[in-house]
Amino acid sequence: MIAFEAAWKVFEARSGELTTAVADISLDIAKNEFVCLVGPSGCGKSTLLRLAAGLLLPDRGSVSIGGERVREPRSDTGIVFQSPTLLPWATILDNVLFPAKMMGVASPEIQERAKALLKLVGLEGLERRFPRELSGGMQQRAGICRALIHNPAVLLMDEPFGALDALTREELTIELLRIWTTQPKTILFVTHSIPEAVMLADRVVVMSAHPGRVAEVLRVDLPRPRSFQMESADEFHRCTQRVRQLIFGDRTLQAA
């Protein structure tokens, strides 16, 4: 569904200095697959997501969705940004409806869908509030609803649970998995949390920094539907250990 073929992205800083954000990324994500992206800060995870979203174009190589080259943002793609990025002048409901309005598909059914999504993430009754009247975690949840409003086939999520407390995080993890099961979509999910990545993903893509490359792609053989009881499974430990090893080298293993 999403295919990176030897994609490179180089940024030029204002000083003229060049940064290779991602180098030679080749990655094939199957239709309705759930892929998590982990790696140290600055390794190019957000850049990879922006390439898939069509917000950036690769300097070399290509990115395509459903066999079509991505040249601009597509209407079948939803994205959750690393920060909530809500419009301060619009109510929570209007923020969630924003993509639908902009794409000209707003309808009473979409309104109902927005309310249902807000209820799903625990924001029921806050539809008329303004973003500044919500906590950071609540804003982030509204941002997730916004990405889901037009039921996109591809969902790109940049640390969507980063600003949430551990409890809400677990709740939303289960909720996201449920949405994904009932409304199948291809998900590319960036996270800093190794257990979260393993819990969610079919495959975990581990990246290394300077420049950002794919270090290894790890298949998670845990059954679905997933639950947090699986955190004690052997497969879960094998996967998290392997990811840690790839990111930190052998340091953590010796300390343990």
Partner 1 sequence: MAAWEIACRQLKVPGYLVPAPSAIWADVTQKYGLIAGHTVATMRTVLLGFAASIIISLPLAVVIVSTPLLANTIYPLLVLTQSIPKVALAPVLVVLLGTNEMPRVVITFLVAFFPLVLAIATGLNGVPAELIELGRVCRAGRWQELVRIRLPYAIPFIFSGLKAAITLSVVGAVVAEFVNADRGLGYLIVTSTAFFQVATAWAALIVLSIIGIVLFQVVVIVERVFFPWALSSSS
Mask for 67-106, x = binds ligand ATP (CB under 6 A): ---------------x------------------------
Closer residue to Mg ion (CB): 93 or 200: 200
**Which of 149, 153, 170 has its CA nearest to residue 161?**
170
Which of 4, 34, 81, 180 binds partner 1 (CB under 8 A)? It is 81
Which of 9, 37, 46, 206 binds Mg ion (CB under 5 A)? It is 46
Which of 32, 64, 85, 208 binds partner 1 (CB under 8 A)? It is 85
Q: Residue 212's CB: how many other CB atoms inside 10 A?
A: 26
Distance separating alpha carbons of residues 144 and 137, to the nearest angstrom: 11
- Give the nearest distance from C-beta 51 to Mg ion in angstroms: 13
8 Å CB contact between 202 and 220: yes
- Give the nearest distance from C-beta 254 to ligand ATP in angstroms: 25
- Give the nearest distance from C-beta 48 to ligand ATP in angstroms: 7
Q: Residue 136's CB: how many other CB atoms inside 10 A?
A: 12
- Strands (E) across 55-144 are located at 60-65, 68-69, 77-80
Residue 139 interacts with partner 1 (CB under 8 A): yes or no: no
Closer residue to ligand ATP (CB): 45 or 113: 45
Quickly tell me which residue has 């390794």 as its tokens: 43
Distance separating alpha carbons of residues 59 and 68, to the nearest angstrom: 17
8 Å CB contact between 98 and 68: no
Residue 19 interacts with ligand ATP (CB under 6 A): yes or no: yes
- Give the nearest distance from C-beta 154 to partner 1 in angstroms: 12
